[in-house]
Amino acid sequence: MNTLRQIAFITTILITTFSCKEVNTSGASKAINLKDVYKENFYIGVAVNENQILENDSLEATRIENEFNSITAENIMKSMFIHPVKDSFDFKLTDKFVALGEKNNMFIHGHTLIWHSQLSPWFTEIKDSTEMANAMEHHIKTIVGRYKGKINSWDVVNEALNEDGTLRKTVFLDVLGEDYLPLAFKWAFEADANTKLYYNDYNMTNEEKRKGAIRMIKRIQEKGIKVDGIGMQGHWGLEKPSIEDIEKSILDYASLGVKVAITELDINVLPSPWDLVGADVNQNFEGSKKMNPYPKNLPDSIQTKFANRYQDIFKLFLKHQDKISRVTFWGVNDGQSWLNDWPIKGRTNYPLLFDRELKPKAAYDSIIALKLKYKSN
Ligand code: G3I
C-alpha cells in the first residue's frame, strides 16, 4: 500500500467511527464533515430538490446542514417553475430555498437565469428582438433583484454552446443574436452588482467546446461587462474526462481572470449507450442487464474505483484551490440522482457520496482522507 492509500485506510476507520456524528474530544464537541474539512479550500455545495428544500426528511436535512456550506436549487429556479407565465412569477419555493440557505449560513447559488431547457413556453413565442430584450431584462432583474444581497452567485447563462464550440441555436440566439449573452450578464450586474456571475456548461473539458467558451467569455469581457466565473458541470465518468483534461480546462478558464466552480459533480458508474457500436439512446433498454448491471448494489471493485476516482479529482481541486471557488455535488444521495433516469430510464446508478440510506460511502471517506493527508504534508 502506498502512503496515501495507507492513510486513506486508517482515516476510513476513523471516519466510519466518527463521521456525521458528534465526537467528544477532551470535553469539546467536534464533528468530521466535508464542509469543515474543506473550509479553507473552497465551498462544498449540493443541489437540493423540492423535498429537501422543504426538509421533509429529517436525516437528509441533517446531512445537508452538516456536510455542505453551499446550496443550489436542482430545478425550482428554472424559468418554467419560477416564471411560468409572462406576467407572473412564482417565488413560493425559491423563497424557501433561500431561507434554508440563510438558516444554515450557506453560500447560496442561483441556477439558472437564461437556459433553453426547462424554459417557460411563453419565451418561445417571442419573435421580436425588442420584445425579447425586454422579456429577458424583466426576467433577470426581477429574480436577481428579489434576492439581491442574499443569492451569492448566479448561473446567468446555462449551456449556450454546441460541442464544436459554436453557439447553440436557441430562441434567445434566434431572436436577439449573439448580443443576448453580454446583455444577460449586464442585466444581472445591474440588478445586483455584488453577486458573482457565472457561465455554466457541461463537457467543458472537451477541447473544441473549451475554445468556444473562451472565445465567448472574451467577447463579453471585451465589452467591459463583468463575468466572475465559469461553471464546469462535473457530469463525469469513472475514466473520462482525464485528470489532465480537467486540469488544462481549469487553467485555461482561470487565465481569463475568472474563478472556476465545479458546479454539478457526479460520477456515472453505468455503461453508456453511446459506447455500444450502433447503439441508439432512444432504443428500449428496459430490463437490459447489460445496461443496468448493478440493480441491487455496487460491487466492491467498482466502489473502490469510484472512491479512487473522487480522490484523484479532489487531489486536482486541492492543487488548484486558488482558482476554484466551489465544488457542488449534483444531489445528496444516489437515490435522488438524475442519472438513474438518464440517458436510460429506470436504472440504478451510484454517482454521489451518500447511498440510498444516506450513509456516507467509501468515496466520502476517500476525499476526507485526502484532505487530512494534504494538511499534514
Ligand atoms: O415537474 C415534473 C412533475 O410535475 C412530474 O410529476 C415529474 C414526473 O417525472 O416530472 C417533473 O419534471 C422533472 C423535472 O426534473 C423536475 O423534477 C422532469 O421529468 C425531469 O426530466 C427533470 O430532470 C431535471 C433535468 O435537469 C432537466 O433537464 C433533473 O432533475 C436535473 O437534475 C437536471 O439538471 C441539469 C441542470 O439543471 C443543468 N445541467 C445538466 C443537469 C442534468 O441534466
Q: What is the pLDDT of residues 242-289, one digit of tens each?
A: 999 999 999 999 999 999 999 999 999 999 988 766 667 666 776 688
In a domain, 48, yes or no: yes
Looking at residue 254, its amino acid is A
In a domain, 14, yes or no: no
User: What per-residue confidence (pLDDT) applies to 341?
Assistant: 95
* Cβ atoms 108, 70 nearer than 8 A: yes
Q: How many domains does the chain have?
A: 1
What's the domain range around 202? 34-364
Check if 334 has its Cβ closer than 6 Å to any atom of ligand 1: no
Q: What CATH number is given to the structural domain containing 202?
A: 3.20.20.80
CA 86 remoteness from chain centre: 28
Residue 65: active-site member = no
In a domain, 27, yes or no: no
The pLDDT of 88-96, averaged and rounded, is 98
Mean pLDDT for all residues in the chain: 92
User: What per-residue confidence (pLDDT) applies to 288?
Assistant: 81
In a domain, 251, yes or no: yes
**Cell numbers placing 45:** 455545495
User: Could you identify the atom of ligand 1 that is nearest to the CA of residue 47?
Assistant: 32
Q: What is the DSSP string of 106-164?
A: PEEEEEEEE-SSS--HHHHT---HHHHHHHHHHHHHHHHHHTTTT--EEEEEE--B-TT
Q: How far is the CA of 336 from the centre of ligand 1 (A)?
A: 11
User: What per-residue confidence (pLDDT) applies to 75?
Assistant: 98
| pLDDT tens per residue across span 307-356 | 999 999 999 999 999 999 999 999 999 999 999 999 999 999 999 999 99
Check if 74 has its Cβ closer than 6 Å to any atom of ligand 1: yes
Check if 201 has its Cβ closer than 6 Å to any atom of ligand 1: no
pLDDT-derived band at 374 (thresholds 50, 70, 90) equals confident
The pLDDT of 138-148, averaged and rounded, is 98
The pLDDT of 298-311, averaged and rounded, is 98
| pLDDT tens per residue across span 37-46 | 999 999 999 9
In a domain, 342, yes or no: yes
User: What per-residue confidence (pLDDT) applies to 24?
Assistant: 34
In a domain, 49, yes or no: yes
In a domain, 68, yes or no: yes
| pLDDT tens per residue across span 330-339 | 999 999 999 9
The pLDDT of 344-370, averaged and rounded, is 97
Looking at the predicted structure, is the pLDDT value of residue 16 above 50?
no
Q: How far is the CA of 81 from the centre of ligand 1 (A)?
A: 11
pTM (2 decimals)?
0.92
In a domain, 118, yes or no: yes
Check if 122 has its Cβ closer than 6 Å to any atom of ligand 1: no
Residue 264: active-site member = yes
The pLDDT of 66-78, averaged and rounded, is 98
Pure H helices in the chain: 3-18, 34-37, 50-53, 58-67, 79-82, 92-103, 121-124, 129-146, 171-176, 180-191, 207-222, 243-254, 300-319, 362-376
User: What per-residue confidence (pLDDT) applies to 101?
Assistant: 98
